[in-house]
Structure 1
């Protein structure tokens, strides 16, 4: 044996393991994919860098390597895999994210390695016409249809059978007869977007912002803020065009890639071709093709969900995070990280610009602008002469709905008025299903999930009760599970299904469409829905937060928010901020073309600061008041938070571990521990949960405190402790 090399494996170990390079072999460089023995198995890993610089970050955010092993105990690597290497900046990003989130680096690396994508896709077999056909060939009707179907080019067996209306056996028989020849239909190289393809004409305000984005060189964070409909997308497209002219790749992160249909069409109009798409709905073959195209540079622009941040870009020149305020960028399961914040880290390590775009920037981003860490560009006007919608609140105490209904007469009249003019209207309620609670009128029993501290939501279309946390579902019972009373169960409160039923009774002639995550499954369904609305095949849209995500419906002039108070209660410190952002975004769907827009907010407490700010259009003033409330207590973004979530199968084990963490909690100036206490979801997926919250001043790093705390507490046995640095959810 000769050299020793560190290899990081996709498992929860503390760091890389050392392996030996066989005598006479050349040591593979860092980033190389290798096969190595682990116990009695053979596994894949990445050759790592020993003590690599993690960038200009505090020393406490660097990961520790594994303990050294004597040379004579090292096992040799088994093979070097023929696959694109993991770039240096991506490996440093993995180390940084692992250290920041207190996650074993192998688990972070696993998100970037993606063994199911690394291996090349197998050849895709297809058929083409074999020319010429023998003169003695008998031309049956089926053979004629096959020949006609192949006139435009080769097809797979399944595709050809569907196009020609024949069975697979006919095609195989023609192949055996020499009438068809087998061909490889592997996807050709990606077509590069053309940065100089003629795009839409920008306004003077848009051109000025685009010029500033194009001028950025090296690392720099720019907040691109603009009112809804101001054309932020077209502005950052110009920054993408500049990256392409420089021979670099670009990455665009969207919070909901399944809702990207209109975005993709705008990209095609600007650059002439579609970008490379990356999300969880991709099939295995498309995923492999896209991954390798990113690695070899043939995929010049990638649009994807947060996982696209871990793709192996070799020439990354720009990152854009659209709708940067969206909480969907926070991954809550497995490795917990915020894709917006980690995108800034990746841009810093790669020394490239990053653009954060939003009509409602998060308070965290605003604070970075105020501190001078981020540049700020602002688009104050809607593009094309459209005006911002008029917003008004409906006081439900003065204008209540009819008994058993949820739409105020004021909103009902407004919908009739707009539909009567041939315009489109939207009813917005951020709650799926028919009703959030099922109650027994006889004994008061509320039907709960057996695995979670949550009520079961009625989905009447499926005749099921479902838990939106763990996925448990059951048929709607005929008798009360508690007292056995018949016909006593009643739905309490509205979901979009119930509002749809009410709308059907009120507006029977209106063509209706429901837009919710359980009715629009995947990008294709979302694209069809958007197309139907744009083509004016729909009069009334009833939707959840999906409809707030950047859609452009030029004929939609009225937005009615069924429950503007939803989300304002609870213990979440960002509850009011999120509600204002969401309702401001959904209000922005109205009046995006020539006809003016109107927004009506149904509220039982219209005097709430969030509702007052929405009516006044004073988003800046609302955020300033939010900031003033958070500064004194060192709440984010003016302090740091880390959540410790204790979970166990038995409540006693969870309580014991939480008590131990409470007894060993750190103390000091600027450090405070809240808890332990039962989590709001004290039972989730069958596990009992307790929470503690570490809060520090902004100048105090939480990672070394957490490491020392966990080491002293030494939680073992049945309980598990999960760490969430910079938590977004407090459930």
Structure 2
């Protein structure tokens, strides 16, 4: 039955729900995306169930009529319930959560065409070197002038000249043209007995078409991807859609290649670097049900799938699944809830699962499937510690003698090495040796990091950049700047000194900042055009290089210095993951971990390869502290461009704190990052027992206080970052 009066969730949190009447002849249902008048403006909204979206009732005669229903499928009830749950759990307004669903404005405008160009086979009246190079590069290519300009590496003017000469012809194409179809049986793999047993259970879960949270716990190199691909194939065979979440865009290209080899076509990709036309095409294919498999970053979780059959969260332990601004959600946990509402299986795959996921498996809430050994007979690497209090690298050096010798040995054998340090740039601090001046970000409580490759000083929090000055800005002394501490660029320089013939690649989010650059790096590593990889946490994930036999961890203690709740767990995960890059082929691998604290429980567990002992000790510590998964945390962040205003707002909030037996409130106190993007910040931290309704406590508390316009109050439920 078509509705005659509707309540809209509009995409502006400040407006709240609005009621409208439906003009005669307009067909509207719950979930329809519509255009409505608001004063002289127009707003986009989603038709919602009135009983689920309370609002002040407006008399019928005062209602204005809707203007249009957009030509896209209505947002399904299952996704509307996920929007509600996410807003409720993370104490966020509904509107910004819903905006993540309607994430392509172009997709809402209905069918469209665009003009692309291709070669005709003709030749220009006057051939120039640029024209000749363009014609050669564009053989078999079709795209917009801008796209072809990038492919041919010539200006758009050169290509427009070829259009005028009839060498390039225009072609009208459907923006929403179909994608190549994947086939479940395109290339069936040879699985090991362990892989086949797990794959059969995953396929059974897909065929059952019921909610089933599954933890796929497999050691590095065990072939988790090939195993869950069998479940993907089962969903494709049943015409059900699949979502695969990856933690980093840099992993996408390698994954796409493996996917295409298995299924004969690439999946649909979703991430922040997509062009607007690509986002539009993908969004409409997903909403119509044409899209078979979507591979994407965390935002892909909120797309309007028409017929979802399976969700995979790969590298499910990764911190990058947690959004740290806007709606502060954890995609791993929201994926489980989306699977719950959609009544489909969800697979959390990891070699180092989050402690919370292991706890859910141990309690029987998640089913745990295990791949205990590497595929094809490959062995896990030998792990040894280098005690930096005994094996000191020497003045101005960061690589100890045993690791230097191992690097030289691998280069002599023609094998590859990887050095891991989770610190971008050349040095984390630059100061003046004459007066001691330290270069600090003008917008944040952070030192500027020196990047010698790009010749800049940069803040990794707000993005501020400046060129290194020739003189100290404090004392005016020339040639007095000193780099303090190592970043990956400095380690790469040291490697070049030790191994003058080695081909060294620096791998960070700065150097692999696009899928194309990531693909280029993978191709070079696989072709053995790189001898030593020096990288940050980006290299801990997903890469498989058979000739890589040595991993060196430059500073295993670095992650333990932050003092946050998950510091030990995160250190274990990062080092264990990067260690897993070694010896994935026929040749044995070795891992050397440099540390000043070999007695620390996390370091000892890494040396012994005893993951269970580490998690058991970490579980006991969390239980004693009432920390997740045994208790709940929520952070409240108060900020303002005026320091006094922020401090007073935080104090007012602290003075009205709830006094409850099952909720403890700590603070307010200046945040560790007390100034961020020109805003002064204070924090309060709530520690609640599992019996407490934490979200209700936060809402009631914050709802009773009005702050000045310049004050922002943010809520972070289940925080990962404590800055």
For residue 288 of structure 1, give the secondary structure of its aligned residue in structure 2.
Answer: helix
CA contact (8 A) 2:669 2:684 kept: yes
The question of 1:582 aligning with 2:571 is answered: no
CA distance in 1, matches of 2:400, 2:153: 55
The question of 1:310 aligning with 2:302 is answered: yes
The question of 1:321 aligning with 2:322 is answered: no
For residue 723 of structure 1, give the secondary structure of its aligned residue in structure 2.
Answer: strand
After TM superposition, give the deviation of residue 500 of structure 1 in Å: 1.1
The question of 1:76 aligning with 2:65 is answered: yes
Query: How big is each residue's C-alpha offset from its partner over 1:226-283, in whole Å with a ceiling of 9 and x where there is no partner?
Result: 0000000111111111112222101000000232222111111211111111000111
Deviates more, 1:115-124 or 1:89-98: 115-124
| Counterpart for residue 90 of structure 2 | 101
Q: Which residue of 66, 77, 95 corresponds with 1:88?
A: 77
Query: How big is each residue's C-alpha offset from its partner over 1:110-161, in whole Å with a ceiling of 9 and x where there is no partner?
Result: 1111224333574232457899x9xxx9998799999999995866566778
After TM superposition, give the deviation of residue 476 of structure 1 in Å: 1.6
CA distance in 2, matches of 1:426, 1:181: 48
Deviates more, 1:37-46 or 1:392-401: 37-46
| Counterpart for residue 41 of structure 1 | 41
CA distance in 2, matches of 1:453, 1:302: 39
CA distance in 2, matches of 1:472, 1:26: 51
Seen in structure 2, the aligned counterparts of structure 1 residues 534 and 154 have a Cα distance that, compared at 3 Å, is: closer
For residue 490 of structure 1, give the secondary structure of its aligned residue in structure 2.
Answer: strand
* Residue pairs, 1:552-571, within 5 angstroms: 552-571=544-563
The question of 1:226 aligning with 2:218 is answered: yes
For residue 50 of structure 2, give the secondary structure of its aligned residue in structure 1.
Answer: coil
Query: How big is each residue's C-alpha offset from its partner over 1:282-338, in whole Å with a ceiling of 9 and x where there is no partner?
Result: 111111111111111111000000000011101001101011110100001111100
| Counterpart for residue 246 of structure 2 | 254
The question of 1:210 aligning with 2:202 is answered: no
Seen in structure 2, the aligned counterparts of structure 1 residues 42 and 227 have a Cα distance that, compared at 3 Å, is: same
CA distance in 2, matches of 1:146, 1:526: 25
Seen in structure 2, the aligned counterparts of structure 1 residues 81 and 484 have a Cα distance that, compared at 3 Å, is: same
CA contact (8 A) 1:126 1:185 kept: no
After TM superposition, give the deviation of residue 202 of structure 1 in Å: 0.4
| Counterpart for residue 345 of structure 2 | 353
* Residue pairs, 1:32-181, within 5 angstroms: 32-52=32-52, 64-114=53-103, 115-120=105-110, 122-126=112-116, 167-174=159-166
CA contact (8 A) 1:648 1:688 kept: yes
| Counterpart for residue 652 of structure 1 | 644
| Counterpart for residue 601 of structure 2 | 609
Q: Which residue of 521, 525, 530 corresponds with 1:538?
A: 530
For residue 321 of structure 1, give the secondary structure of its aligned residue in structure 2.
Answer: strand
Structure 1, gaps ≥5 residues long: 53-63
Query: How big is each residue's C-alpha offset from its partner over 1:27-59, in whole Å with a ceiling of 9 and x where there is no partner?
Result: 50011111111232112111122234xxxxxxx
CA contact (8 A) 2:443 2:678 kept: yes
CA contact (8 A) 1:121 1:285 kept: no
For residue 391 of structure 1, give the secondary structure of its aligned residue in structure 2.
Answer: strand
Query: How big is each residue's C-alpha offset from its partner over 1:663-697, in whole Å with a ceiling of 9 and x where there is no partner?
Result: 11111222100111110001111111000011111
For residue 556 of structure 2, give the secondary structure of its aligned residue in structure 1.
Answer: coil
CA distance in 2, matches of 1:252, 1:313: 13
Deviates more, 1:121-130 or 1:612-621: 121-130
The question of 1:192 aligning with 2:181 is answered: yes
| Counterpart for residue 20 of structure 1 | 21
* Residue pairs, 1:637-676, within 5 angstroms: 637-676=629-668
Deviates more, 1:563-572 or 1:439-448: 439-448
After TM superposition, give the deviation of residue 609 of structure 1 in Å: 1.0
RMSD across aligned positions (CA): 2.5
The question of 1:621 aligning with 2:610 is answered: no
Seen in structure 2, the aligned counterparts of structure 1 residues 10 and 439 have a Cα distance that, compared at 3 Å, is: same
Deviates more, 1:645-654 or 1:260-269: 260-269
After TM superposition, give the deviation of residue 421 of structure 1 in Å: 0.7
CA contact (8 A) 2:552 2:594 kept: yes
Seen in structure 2, the aligned counterparts of structure 1 residues 164 and 658 have a Cα distance that, compared at 3 Å, is: closer
CA distance in 2, matches of 1:238, 1:621: 32
Query: How big is each residue's C-alpha offset from its partner over 1:2-46, in whole Å with a ceiling of 9 and x where there is no partner?
Result: 932011111114742111112x23450011111111232112111
After TM superposition, give the deviation of residue 634 of structure 1 in Å: 1.4
For residue 294 of structure 1, give the secondary structure of its aligned residue in structure 2.
Answer: helix
CA distance in 2, matches of 1:559, 1:354: 32
Seen in structure 2, the aligned counterparts of structure 1 residues 182 and 697 have a Cα distance that, compared at 3 Å, is: closer
* Residue pairs, 1:167-566, within 5 angstroms: 167-174=159-166, 182-184=171-173, 186=175, 188-216=177-205, 217=208, 218-566=210-558
CA contact (8 A) 2:212 2:345 kept: yes
Seen in structure 2, the aligned counterparts of structure 1 residues 50 and 501 have a Cα distance that, compared at 3 Å, is: same
Equivalent pairs counted in the alignment come to 711
Seen in structure 2, the aligned counterparts of structure 1 residues 34 and 600 have a Cα distance that, compared at 3 Å, is: same
CA contact (8 A) 2:176 2:284 kept: no
For residue 124 of structure 1, give the secondary structure of its aligned residue in structure 2.
Answer: strand
CA distance in 1, matches of 2:126, 2:648: 78
CA distance in 1, matches of 2:399, 2:11: 53
CA distance in 2, matches of 1:73, 1:568: 61
Seen in structure 2, the aligned counterparts of structure 1 residues 205 and 72 have a Cα distance that, compared at 3 Å, is: same
Query: How big is each residue's C-alpha offset from its partner over 1:513-537, in whole Å with a ceiling of 9 and x where there is no partner?
Result: 1111111121110110011001101
Query: How big is each residue's C-alpha offset from its partner over 1:445-490, in whole Å with a ceiling of 9 and x where there is no partner?
Result: 3221111111111112232211110111222233333344443321
TM-score between both structures, scaled by the size of structure 2: 0.94
CA contact (8 A) 2:111 2:176 kept: no
CA distance in 2, matches of 1:405, 1:145: 47
CA distance in 2, matches of 1:634, 1:426: 38
CA contact (8 A) 1:121 1:289 kept: no
CA contact (8 A) 1:102 1:723 kept: yes
Seen in structure 2, the aligned counterparts of structure 1 residues 210 and 458 have a Cα distance that, compared at 3 Å, is: same
